A = this chain, B = another copy of it.
Amino acid sequence: MSHYNRVALIGLGLIASSMAHAIRANGLADEIVGHARSTETRATALEIGLVDRVFETAAEAVQGADLVVLCVPVGAMEAIAREIAPHLAPGTTVTDVGSVKQAVVEAVAPHLPAHAQFIPGHPLAGTEHSGPRSGFATLFVNRWWLITPLEGNDPAAVTRLKDFLTGLGANVDEMDVTRHDLVLAVVSHTPHLIAYTMVGVADHLRRVTHEEVIKYSASGFRDFTRIAASDPTMWRDVFLTNKEATLDILGRFTEELFMLQRAIRMGDGEKLFDYFTQTRAIRRGIIEAGQDTAAPDFGRSPTTTDPAKK
Contacts and interface: CB of A to CB of B under 8 A. Distances in A.
Interface of A: 75, 124-129, 134, 136, 138-144, 146, 169, 171, 173, 179, 182-184, 186-206, 209, 211-230, 232-233, 235-237, 239-240, 243, 246-247, 249-250, 252-254, 256-257, 260-261, 264-265, 267, 269, 272-273, 275-286, 289-293, 296-310
B257 A194 contact: yes
A306 B275 CA distance: 29
A142 B305 contact: yes
Contacts of A308: 142, 171, 289-291
Contacts of A212: 183, 187
B196 A275 contact: yes
Contacts of A191: 198, 220-221, 223-224
A51 to B, nearest CB: 21
Contacts of A221: 186-188, 191
A173 B310 contact: yes
A143 to B, nearest CB: 6
Main secondary structure of the interface of A (DSSP, over half): helix
Nearest to A274: B232
A282 B219 contact: no
Contacts of A275: 196, 200
Given A128-B296, A139-B302, A183-B216, A193 B260 contact: yes
Contacts of A284: 229
B264 A225 contact: no
Given A260-B193, A260-B197, A261-B247, A282 B214 contact: yes
Q: Which of A146, A219, A237, A275 has the most CB of B within 10 A?
A: A219
A229 to B, nearest CB: 4
A-B complex: 9 closest residue pairs judged by Cβ atoms: A290-B308, A127-B296, A188-B219, A229-B283, A232-B276, A191-B220, A187-B221, A223-B223, A228-B279
B302 A228 contact: no
A159 B246 CA distance: 52
A292 B249 contact: no
Contacts of A239: 264, 272
A95 to B, nearest CB: 18
Contact of A226 (B203, B260, B292): B292
Given A183-B216, A193-B264, A202-B282, 11 more contacts: A184-B219, A186-B202, A186-B205, A198-B253, A211-B285, A214-B289, A226-B292, A235-B272, A239-B264, A290-B307, A298-B298
Contacts of A229: 279-280, 282-284
